[in-house]
């Protein structure tokens, strides 16, 4: 009986590692192929797309940077950072009110806020375009900031609220006895205790804002306000595209979020596990 269990365990372990290896190849290989093709010429790319570059140089990366990627990168960083700060702060404050403060109709308010998860962005595109044009916000940085913040608040609030609900109530009572205001208790006590979920929602929002394409395409048209996903399409031409330059631009666009995720993955997984599991 022991031998059978051991054999079954070995087989299960082999299947698990085989599956993980195949998954790693599926994920890593396209990224590696994209990076390598950023060092080739068009002739090399079409002649043998799966071979290593004949010469290693940074000309394609420099060309992509000079052809607008630097401006798109600056805009993406600005929009992502500001919308992340606004979304996380508003969502954390809303979650604190829904989870830690006794307010009338708190369940109703929670339902209304979380109901925003059911609203598909594509449904609201036409009225939003009309509204932003009438307000003079169309094709501006503020349009993307408002959209990215508004459409992510329900989901972010849901995660932070789920984490705050199980925090001990004695912490609030002790803060109240010491004379701390609601703002002080939230900022200096509750928020530090929610660090894992805060880091998780920050990473999730950065991934969303950095890669978002629909809003950035519809609500911006000038090169000075376009983000990376939209700006990279301008590197492609109807009369001939220098694909290695396009691949180089894609590598530049992907590098910041890849580094961020690997640097914070421990907190990301812990925060999501604690928040969603509660």
Residue 117 reports pLDDT greater than 80: no
Total domain count for the chain? 1
CB neighbourhood size of 25 (10 A)? 11
Residue 139 in domain:
yes
Say what percent of the chain tops pLDDT 70. 90
Radius of gyration (C-alpha) of the chain in whole angstroms? 24
Residue 116: what pLDDT?
67
Residue 238: what pLDDT?
53
Residue 11 in domain:
no
Residue 216 in domain:
yes
- Domain of 246 in residue numbering reads as 68-276
- Which long-range contacts link 48-55 to residues 24+ away (Cβ below 8 Å)? none
Model confidence pTM above 0.85: no
| pLDDT, average across residues 237-242 | 64
The residue whose two tokens read 């000038």 is 222
Mean pLDDT for the chain overall: 84
- Per-residue pLDDT reduced to its tens digit, 20-40: 899 888 888 888 888 998 898
Burial of 12 (0-12, 13-18, 19+ CB in 10 A): exposed
Structure token pair of residue 160: 């932070």
Where is average pLDDT lowest: 36-40, 63-67, 118-122, 136-140?
Answer: 118-122
Task: Output DSSP code: residue 117.
Answer: G
Residue 210: what pLDDT?
94
Please give the C-alpha separations between residue 58 and each of 65, 130, 205, 235, 248, in angstroms, as whole numbers.
11, 44, 31, 17, 9
Residue 259 in domain:
yes
Residue 120 in domain:
yes
How would you label 31-60 residue by residue, b for 16+ Cβ within 10 Å and e otherwise?
eeeeebbbbbbeebbeeeeeeebeeeeeeb
Residue 84 reports pLDDT greater than 90: yes
Residue 273: what pLDDT?
66
Decide: 199 and 264 in contact? Cβ < 8 Å. Answer: yes
Structure token pair of residue 251: 């590598």
CB neighbourhood size of 251 (10 A)? 20
| pLDDT, average across residues 239-263 | 84
Residue 35 in domain:
no
Residue 39 in domain:
no
Q: How far apart are CA 97 and CA 111, in angstroms?
A: 14
Residue 52 in domain:
no
Where is average pLDDT lowest: 67-71, 92-96, 112-116, 166-170?
Answer: 112-116
| pLDDT, average across residues 64-88 | 92
Q: How far apart are the first and last CA of the chain?
A: 38
pLDDT band at 3 (very low <50, low <70, confident <90, very high): very low
pLDDT band at 261 (very low <50, low <70, confident <90, very high): confident
Looking up residue 209, the CATH number of its domain turns out to be 1.10.3720.10
- Per-residue pLDDT reduced to its tens digit, 169-190: 888 888 888 888 888 888 888 8
pLDDT band at 5 (very low <50, low <70, confident <90, very high): low
């Amino acid at each position: 009986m022991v031998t059978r269990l051991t054999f079954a365990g070995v087989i299960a372990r082999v299947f698990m590692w085989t599956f993980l290896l195949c998954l790693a190849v599926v994920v890593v290989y396209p990224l590696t192929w994209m990076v390598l093709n950023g060092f080739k010429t068009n002739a090399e790319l079409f002649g043998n797309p799966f071979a290593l570059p004949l010469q290693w140089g940074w000309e394609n990366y420099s060309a992509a940077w000079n052809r607008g990627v630097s401006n798109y990168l600056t805009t993406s960083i600005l929009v992502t950072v500001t919308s992340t700060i606004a979304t996380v702060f508003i969502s954390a404050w809303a979650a604190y009110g829904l989870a830690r403060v006794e307010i009338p109709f708190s369940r109703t308010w929670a339902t209304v806020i979380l109901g925003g998860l059911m609203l598909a962005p594509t449904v609201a595109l036409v009225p939003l375009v009309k509204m932003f044009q009438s307000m003079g916000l169309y094709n501006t940085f503020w349009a993307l900031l408002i959209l990215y913040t508004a459409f992510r608040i329900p989901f972010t609030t849901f995660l932070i609220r789920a984490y705050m609900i199980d925090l001990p109530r004695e912490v609030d009572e002790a803060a109240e006895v010491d004379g701390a205001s609601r703002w002080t208790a939230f900022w200096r006590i509750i928020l530090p205790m929610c660090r894992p979920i805060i880091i998780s929602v920050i990473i999730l929002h950065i991934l969303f804002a950095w890669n978002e394409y629909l809003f950035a395409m519809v609500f911006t048209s000038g090169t000075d306000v376009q983000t990376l996903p939209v700006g990279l399409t301008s590197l492609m031409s109807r009369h001939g595209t220098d694909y290695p330059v396009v691949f180089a631009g894609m590598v530049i666009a992907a590098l910041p979020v890849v580094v961020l995720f690997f640097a914070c993955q421990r907190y990301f997984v812990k925060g999501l596990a604690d928040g969603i599991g509660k």
